[in-house]
Amino acid sequence: MSKRKKRLEKIRQNPNNVSLDDLRQLLEDYDFSYKQTVGSHHTFTYYLGGKRKVFVVPFKRPVKREYVKQAVRLIDQIILERGEDKADD
C-alpha cells in the first residue's frame, strides 16, 4: 500500500485532531492545489467531472471533523472518477 493510501486510511479512521498540514498533504496527494490565503480560510482547488471546484477550510487547529470528513468524501469521488482501484499504488 502506498504512502498516500496509508495516509488516507489513517485520516479516514480517525478524523479527529487532524492538523492542517496533514490534511493539506492528503489533499495534495490527490491533486488538490493549495492557494495561499490571507485571512481565516485556506482554499484548495481541484477538478471533478471536468470542472474546477473549490474546497475551503477555516483556519482552526485542529481542523474540525466535518471538514476532514468532507475532504475524504471528495477524495473518494475523485478516486471513483479516475477509476483508481483501492489496491493500486
The mean predicted confidence, pLDDT, of the chain is 90
Indicate the pTM of the whole model: 0.86
Number of compact structural domains in the chain: 1
* Model confidence band, residue 86 (pLDDT cutoffs 50, 70, 90): low
In a domain, 87, yes or no: no
Is 75 within a domain? Answer: yes
* Inside any domain, residue 29: yes
pLDDT value at 89 more than 70: no
Look at residue 35 and tell me whether its pLDDT is greater than 90.
no
Q: What is the pLDDT of residue 11?
A: 96
Residue 76 pLDDT exceeds 90: yes
Residue 88 lies in a domain: no
- In terms of residue numbers, what domain contains 73? 3-82
- Per the domain annotation, does 71 fall within a domain? yes
**Is 77 in contact with 58 (CB distance < 8 Å)?**
no
CA distances from 34 to 13, 57, 86 (A): 24, 11, 25
